[in-house]
Amino acid sequence: MQLFRGLATALATMVVMVASHPFAHAETLESALVKAYHNNPQLNAQRASVRATDEGVSRAQAGYRPKITVSGEIGASAINYRQPNPAFGTSLLEPRTIIQDQRILPRGAGAQLNQMIFDSGATSNSVRQAESLVLAARETLRNTEETVLFSGASSYMDVLRDTATLDLQKSNVDVLEEQLRQTRDRFNVGEVTRTDVAQAESRLEGARSQVSQAEANLKTSIATFRQIIGVEPRTLAPGRPIDRLLPASLDAAVHIALAENPAIVSAFHNVDAAEFQVKIAEAALGPNLSLNASVTSQWDVIRSNDQQANATVSATLNVPIYQGGAEYAQIRQAKETLGQQRLLADQVRDQVRQLVVSSWGNLDASKAQILAAQAQISSSEVALNGVREEAKVGQRTTLDVLNAQQDLLNARVALVSAQHDRVVNSYQLLEGVGRLTLEFVSPSVQKYEPGVHYQQVRDLWWGTQTPSGK
C-alpha cells in the first residue's frame, strides 16, 4: 500500500511540479512548441497562403505600368492577273489576253505600347485593397499560429495526463491483485465468504478494463502529439502553466483581447478591403485616359520588294455614359459585402470576448479543482487506512475496502486531470488574449517574418521564379 501511495502521488503531481533536478534529454513543453512552430503542416500551409496573397499587391501595381506587345506576321500570296489586251489586232505579235503571275511573301512586324494615365482611382484603390488583404492574411497566419501552439500544448499535456493515468490504473491492478490474494487466503480460513472473493475478482477485472481504456487513450494522445508536433513523444518533462504571461484581471484580459486578438484584427482588415472594393466598383463610372503608341513595318504587301512603315501616337479618353447597368449592380453588391464584413467583425469580437471569459472561468475552476482533489486524496488516504484496520477486526467488509480504495484512485485521477486542465486553460486564455505566439512563449527562437517575402515581390516587374527559388 505504501508503494502504491508513493507512486500514485508522484504520478499525480508530475503534470505541473518541477523536480529539483533537471530532466536529462527530456522534451520540454516549450521545445515541443518550437518544433510545432517550424514543422506543423497546417502552419506552413498558411505561410504559403500569405506568400501567395503578397503577390496580389504586385498584380495590382501592374495597373501603373505600361503594357508592351510585339507582333509579327508572314504569309504567302499568289496573284494571277488576266486582262484583255487593248492592243490586240494591231499587230500579229500582240496576244489577245495579258497574263501576269506573281508569287510574293507578305510579312510584317510591329510593337504596341499602352500606358494608363488616369482610371478614376481604380488602380490606386486596387493596390490599397491588396495591401489590406495582405495584412488580413498575416493576422490569419498569427491566428493559425496560436491555434497550432495551443493544440501542441494541449496534446503535450494530454500525453502526460494519459501516461500518469495509465500508471495509476496499472498500480491499481497490482493492488487489487494483492487484495484478491489476501481475500482468498481469508476465505480459505473461513474469515470471509465467497461473496467477498467474487467482489474482489469483479473489481480486479474492472480495473483491468480501465487499464485497457487508459492504454487506448494514451495511444490516441500520442498520435495527436505526432500529428501536431511532428515527432513521437519520448521523455516529456513536466508542463507548467504560463501565469506570468496572463493579464492580472478579467477586465484587462478582455481589453487586451479586443485590441490584439488576430481574428479581430484580421476581420477589420477585411472590412478595409471591402471598402476599397466599393471604390474600385465606383471607378467604372468615371472616365479613363490612356496613352497609346505603335510602330509597324510591312514588306511585300502588294508586290515584291515593296515596303511600308507606320508610327502612331495617340491619347484615348473614355467617358462611360451607360453600359447596361452592370456597374451599378456591382457597386450595390460591393456595399452589401462591406456591410456583411462589418457584421462579421462584430461577430468575431463577441466570440473572442466569450472565449476569454470562458477561459478565465475554466482556469479559476481548475485551480479550485486541484485544491479540492488534494484535500480529497488526503481524506481518502485516511479513510482507506481506517477501513483496512476496521476490516481486520471484522467491522468492515471487503466491499468497503474496495470502495475506499476506488475513491482514493478516483481522487488521484481527478488531481491528474485538474492539473492537466490547469496548464491547458492557461494556454487557452493566452490564446484568447492574442498573445500565444512564439515571441511570448520562447522569445529566443527565430520567428518567421512574413514581411520579408512581401518586400521581395512587391515591386517586381518581371520574373517567374519565387524568392525561394521555386
3-state secondary structure of 193: coil
The band of 463, judged by pLDDT with boundaries at 50, 70 and 90, is: confident
Given a cut of 60, whether residue 2 has pLDDT beyond it is no
**What are the b/e assignments for 342-373, b being 16+ CB within 10 Å?**
beebeebbeebbebbbebbebbeebbebbeeb
For the cut 70, the answer to whether the pLDDT of residue 185 exceeds it is: yes
- Mind listing the pLDDT tens digit for each residue in 398-443? 888 888 989 999 999 999 999 999 999 999 999 999 999 888 888 8
Round the average pLDDT of the chain to a whole number and report it: 88
Cβ-in-10-Å burial (0-12, 13-18, 19+) of 73 comes to exposed
Query: Cell 518544433 maps to which residue?
Result: 35
Q: pLDDT tens across 352-401, in order?
A: 999 999 999 999 999 999 999 999 999 999 999 998 888 887 788 888 88
Q: How many degrees, rounded to 5, is the angle at CA 122 between CA 117 and CA 125?
A: 120
What is the reported pLDDT for 350? 96
pLDDT at residue 7, as a whole number:
42
Domains of the chain (ranges, CATH numbers):
2-70+121-287+329-457 (1.20.1600.10)
Would the pLDDT of 101 be above 80? no
Please, are residues 306 and 333 in contact by the beta-carbon 8 Å criterion? no
Q: How far apart are CA 146 and CA 74, in angstroms?
A: 61
Mean of pLDDT values over 226-236: 92
Other C-beta atoms lying within 10 Å of the C-beta of residue 449: 9
> What pTM does this model have?
0.84
What secondary structure does DSSP assign to 407-437, as a single string?
A: HHHHHHHHHHHHHHHHHHHHHHHHHHHT--S
Grid look-up 474600385 returns 280
Cell of 445: 527562437
- Predicted pLDDT of residue 79: 73
What residues are paired with 109 via a beta bridge?
A: 72, 297
pLDDT classification of 19: cutoffs 50, 70, 90: very low
Supply the pLDDT for residue 89.
63
Q: 141 with 14: CB under 8 angstroms?
A: no
pLDDT category, 53, cuts 50, 70, 90? very high
pLDDT > 70? residue 291: yes
Instruction: Look at residue 92 in the predicted model and tell me its pLDDT.
Output: 59
pLDDT of 3 reads: 37
User: Residue type for 411, please?
Assistant: A
Measured CA to CA in angstroms, residue 148 lies from 239, 240, 422, 425 at distances of 17, 18, 19, 15
- Per-residue pLDDT of 297-352, as tens digits, reads 988 877 777 788 899 999 999 999 988 899 999 999 999 999 999 999 999 999 99
pLDDT reported for residue 15: 41
Residue 444's pLDDT band, with cuts at 50, 70 and 90, is confident
What is the arithmetic mean of pLDDT over 458-467?
A: 84
Is the model's pLDDT at 24 over the cut of 70? no
246, pLDDT greater than 50: yes
